[in-house]
Structure formats: structure tokens, C-alpha cells
Chains A and B, each alone.
Chain A
Amino acid sequence: MSTLTFATINEADVSAARKRYPQAFGNPLVRALKIGSWVFIAVYLAWSLHVFEIGKLLNASDRAWQLVSRMVVWQDMATWQYANIYRGIAQTIAMAFLGTLLGTIFALMWAFFAARNTMPVGIIRHAVRRLLDIFRGIDAVVWGLVFVRAVGLGPLAGVLAIWISDMGNLAKLYSEAIENIDRKQVEGVRATGADTGRIIRYGYLPQILPVFISLSLYSFESSTRSATILGLVGAGGIGMIIIERFRAGLFDQVAFVVLNVLVVIAIIDWGSGLIRKRFIGERGH
């Protein structure tokens, strides 16, 4: 062994090392592929931003500046009709709550038809799953727009929209929870000579109930988020106030409303986290 310095490494050392450990010097094909994929991503991004007219950003500075400055300077705060704002927020929460509750109730029914271990008939199971895919695959806002067309402007359309999209989401998650059930615990209850009712009560429910409650709480959180924007299409809640005042150019009020909504959502997340921890423990979800 002799001391080794980087400066004394020469061509001969490199080729000797390459001879002994050819792979250590990288496979040119792999390297080309790697570089190629980065180049591809870069080219794709450049091209797509070009197609999306990124240049518009340069001309936007005037309007953007105007928008931002009017959002931060709050004027005539006495005339902001706070009662309307807070009623809108309350309505948003109410819509989310009702929608999630109804969604939960109906998802319970669907879930047993979509789970492999409770619905052995493949055709029915697949049909139910595809139907659920439709409920889930369409965004709550789209459902909102559809229901606004069907039952008119207002929170009813919003509740229906949350109901149907939560139903799709929850039914899928519930059915997965049912499929993941631990058979051994059920066997244990059955082994005590329990009848069907008791097997469900003591074998299934204790396993799935905490998971279900936790999923529904999560769903309530995300529904409050989607309920805030349902109003943009006229389906009730704070979104209607946001879009009205935005269209009227009252950007300072929009900023105020959005800030309030963020705070309320943070509070709801925090509260639902507390409930989850208190009643379900960390394990459920």
C-alpha cells in the first residue's frame, strides 16, 4: 500500500480501473437514457408552456399588480355585510355536514355490495363498483352544476352534490375496509357459538366501525373544502358570496372572505383530528 493522491491519478490508472470494474464507469446506454428522459421532460415543459402561452404572464403584471394591491388594501370595511359572509360560511359547513352524513348512510349500503367478501356475485359487485366510479369520477363541482340545473340555485344543489360524490368516495373506501377485515376475529366470535347478529355485532363491527367513523370524518374535512367552491357554480354556501363580490371587483372583500374560510377550515381539521384521536385512537383510518 502506498499513499494515494487524486492528482497522481492518470490515464493508465483510469483504464486499469475500467478494465477491472467496467460497470463502475457507467453504462453509456443507461446514461443516454437518463439524460434523454431529462431532456424529454425539459422539452415537453418548454413546449407545453409555449402552447399554453406562457408569454401572457409578461403582459399580466399590470392587472396582477392592480389585483394584489386591491386585495391587501381593505376599504370601507363598515359596508362589508358581515352577516351575509358568516351566514355563507355557516351554510357551507351545514352543506358539508348534511352531504357527508347522507353520503355516509348511503355508502354503508353500497359498500357491502362492492366488497368481495360480502358480495360473492361478481357481476353485481363489478356493476356496483363501476357505478361508484362514476360518482367518484365526476368532481363535486360538476355535480353541483348538474344539480343546479336540475333543482335550481341554492344550497340544496350543494348538499346533493356533496352527498353523491362522498357516497362514491366513501363506498369505495368502506368496501376496502370490509375486505381488509381480520377473519380470525370473526372466527373467534363464531367459535363461541354466536348467532349471525352477534357475529356481526362482535366480530365485524368492532373492526370496521372505527375505520368507518374515521373515514367519514376525513370526508367531512374534505367536503368543507369542496363546499366552499360549490358556490362558484351557484350551489350555495360561501362560494356564491366569493364569486359575486369578485365579479363586482370587490377584491379586498374576497381576500377577507377567503382568509376567514381558511381559518374555519383549519379549525374544522383540528376539531375533527381531536375527535378522531379521542374516540378512535391513532390506529383507525
Chain B
Amino acid sequence: MLEFKALTKQFKNTVAVKPATFTIPDGQMVGIIGRSGAGKSTLLRMINRLNEPSGGQMLFQGRDITALKGRDLREWRNECAMVFQQFNLVGRLNVLTNVMSGRLFHHNFFSSMAGVFSEKERAFAIRALDRLGMAHVALQQTDTLSGGQMQRVAIARALVQEPRIMLADEPIASLDPLNAKVVMDALRAINQQDGLTVICNLHTLDTARQYCDRIIGMQEGVIVFDGTPKELTDKAAREIYGAEAEDAFSEAMTSTALRPGAQRAQPEVRVVN
């Protein structure tokens, strides 16, 4: 269980996340939605402390996450893997090494500096790649892959961390619809088969509705909606998105709905499933 107690983040002159209090039980798949600049990324990056919270507390299984330092902090980051919008892989290394880098936390200084990975790690990384259908490119240089392939490699890297939570910051925002579907399906599978908590920033409503157990809506740093996809009515969604509602409803480019008929001119909410 991941508990947030009045967690806040203030940058120099903007409050990106205003005191947020909520709880995420284990094994839930949560989608965070909201317009650009609402503070979704900031909230997510605070969970694994890529952004330092400026106030409040986070507890995981009762343990205070906000106070972690040094090796404990890195251990926590290892426990909650992150998938980025821009994949954040090391383009000049091959796919396998990128995936194996998910196990760096378990290495000592010398083996990690020398880049020595064990056979077990190699087999494990190949299995993880295989699970995402990417084992065949294991030895290719990573920056030669397509965006969708890179994101699957990034998920494989996250998997070899053996995390308890998986964070995903707009994992499909740079992908075409087909790849977006593949990636979201993979995240959902991880959530359902491995029982991982998945927290995912999304910017298309239909994706959030289709894949998530629970949707959190943010507006200017405040959580304005927290409920099931069913509870997220058309009206509620309009409130979250404000003036950008039309875009969010119909952004067929990166949505996972794969409907040839979807057009910007049809702002009605599509209920999937």
C-alpha cells in the first residue's frame, strides 16, 4: 500500500503539486490524467524521488519513503521501476545491456564500472525481452530501434528490476496507435499477471478508461477527481481538462482505441468495454 500524506512540490515560483492525500492499494492500475502542466509528471517523479518533495510524506507498506537517503533511496528506486515518455535508454549501448542495467543496483562498484554481467542476468534479461517480444533485437544498438520497440525495451529493463510498483510517465505519448496499444497491453499484463501496482500518466481519456482500475484527475496541482472509470463521466472529464477537453477526448493520434472513424470533430466520449 502506497500512502500519500499532504505531499507537495514547489518549484521556484510555481506550486506543481498542492498537498495531495490519497492511498493506492497493492496491485491496482492507476491512471493519472490532467491537462499539460497539471503536475502529473511531478507527482509521479516524486514517488521514486527523481523530484524531491518539498513537503508531506509518502509511506510504502508503512515505511517512510520521503526520508530515504543514499543506498536506501536507491533501493527504493530499484523497487519502483519507471518507464519514461522518451524511453531514457542509453542509445549507444545494445538492447541487452540496457535491459541488464536494470540490475545495476545489485552490483558492486567494480562489476558495474567494468560492465560485467553474469550469465544468470543475461538469461533473465533475455526472458524479460522475450516476454515483450523483443528478444530478437537483443544485440542491436538501441538507438536504431523504433519508438515502440524502445518503449518495450524500457519496460523489459523495468521488469528485470523486479519492482513492486511500476511508474509510467506518459509511456505512449510518443508512439503511434498500434505501438501504444502494445505497450499499454504489456503494462496491463504486468499488472494483472505479476500483481504489480502500476501508476501511469496518460493524456488520452479513452486509454485511461480502457486500461485502468482507477483514475486520478489533476488540475493545477490539485487532485480534482479520484474514482473508477465508470465514475468519470463526460462532465467530470470536461472539468478536469477545461479548455483542452476537446483535444483530450479526440486525440486519436496516440490513443490506444485504434478506431479508424475517430476524428477531432466528434467530441463524444467513447466508452470502451
Residues of chain A whose beta carbon lies under 8 Å from any beta carbon of chain B: 1-6, 9, 13-14, 16-18, 20-21, 23-25
Question: 6 nearest interchain CB pairs?
Answer: A17-B123, A14-B123, A17-B126, A3-B194, A13-B123, A14-B119
Contact of A14 among B120, B128, B135 (CB under 8 A): B120
Given A21-B138, A24-B138, A25-B119: A4 in contact with B131 (beta carbons within 8 A): yes
| CB pairs A–B below 8 angstroms (12 shown) | A2-B193, A4-B124, A4-B127, A6-B162, A13-B124, A14-B123, A17-B122, A17-B127, A18-B119, A20-B126, A21-B126, A24-B138
For residue B192, give the distance in angstroms from its CB to the closest CB of chain A: 10
Residue of B whose beta carbon sits closest to that of A4: B127
Considering only CB atoms and an 8 Å cut-off, how many residues of chain B contact the other chain? 22
Excluding A1-B189, A6-B124, A25-B119, 14 further A-B contacts by CB distance (< 8 Å) are A1-B193, A3-B195, A4-B159, A5-B162, A6-B103, A6-B160, A9-B123, A13-B123, A13-B124, A14-B123, A17-B122, A20-B126, A21-B138, A21-B139
Contact with A along B97-130 (1 / 0, CB 8 A): 0000001000000000000000111111011100
For residue A11, give the distance in angstroms from its CB to the closest CB of chain B: 9
The answer to whether the Cβ of B96 comes within 8 Å of any Cβ in the partner chain is yes
A3 to B138, CA, bound (A): 20
- Contacting pair A13 B127 (CB below 8 A): yes
B139 proximity list for chain A (CB < 8 A): 21, 23-24
- Contacting pair A4 B128 (CB below 8 A): yes
A1 proximity list for chain B (CB < 8 A): 131, 189, 193
A263 to B195, CA, bound (A): 63
B194 proximity list for chain A (CB < 8 A): 3
For residue A222, give the distance in angstroms from its CB to the closest CB of chain B: 33
DSSP majority for the A interface? helix
A3 to B190, CA, bound (A): 8
B131 proximity list for chain A (CB < 8 A): 1, 4
A283 to B189, CA, bound (A): 53
A6 to B195, CA, bound (A): 16
A17 to B162, CA, bound (A): 19
* Those of B120-166 within 8 Å (CB) of chain A: 120-124, 126-128, 131, 135, 138-139, 159-160, 162
A18 proximity list for chain B (CB < 8 A): 119, 123
- Contacting pair A21 B162 (CB below 8 A): no
B138 proximity list for chain A (CB < 8 A): 21, 24
Residues of chain B whose beta carbon lies under 8 Å from any beta carbon of chain A: 96, 103, 119-124, 126-128, 131, 135, 138-139, 159-160, 162, 189, 193-195
- Contacting pair B122 A25 (CB below 8 A): yes
- Contacting pair B193 A3 (CB below 8 A): yes
B135 proximity list for chain A (CB < 8 A): 20-21
A20 proximity list for chain B (CB < 8 A): 126, 135
A17 to B124, CA, bound (A): 9
Residue of B whose beta carbon sits closest to that of A7: B162
A185 to B139, CA, bound (A): 47
- Contacting pair B122 A24 (CB below 8 A): yes
Contact of B120 among A2, A3, A6 (CB under 8 A): A6
A18 to B135, CA, bound (A): 12
A5 proximity list for chain B (CB < 8 A): 162
For residue A25, give the distance in angstroms from its CB to the closest CB of chain B: 6
A237 to B33, CA, bound (A): 69
A3 to B193, CA, bound (A): 7
For residue A170, give the distance in angstroms from its CB to the closest CB of chain B: 37
B122 proximity list for chain A (CB < 8 A): 14, 17, 24-25
A20 to B121, CA, bound (A): 15
Residue of B whose beta carbon sits closest to that of A14: B123
For residue B116, give the distance in angstroms from its CB to the closest CB of chain A: 10
Most buried by B among A6, A14, A18: A6
Most buried by A among B119, B131, B159, B194: B119
For residue A37, give the distance in angstroms from its CB to the closest CB of chain B: 13
A23 to B95, CA, bound (A): 13
B127 proximity list for chain A (CB < 8 A): 4, 9, 13, 17
B120 proximity list for chain A (CB < 8 A): 6, 9, 14
A4 proximity list for chain B (CB < 8 A): 124, 127-128, 131, 159
A18 to B120, CA, bound (A): 10
A201 to B269, CA, bound (A): 68
A25 proximity list for chain B (CB < 8 A): 119, 122
Residue of A whose beta carbon sits closest to that of B189: A1
A127 to B121, CA, bound (A): 60
A24 to B124, CA, bound (A): 12
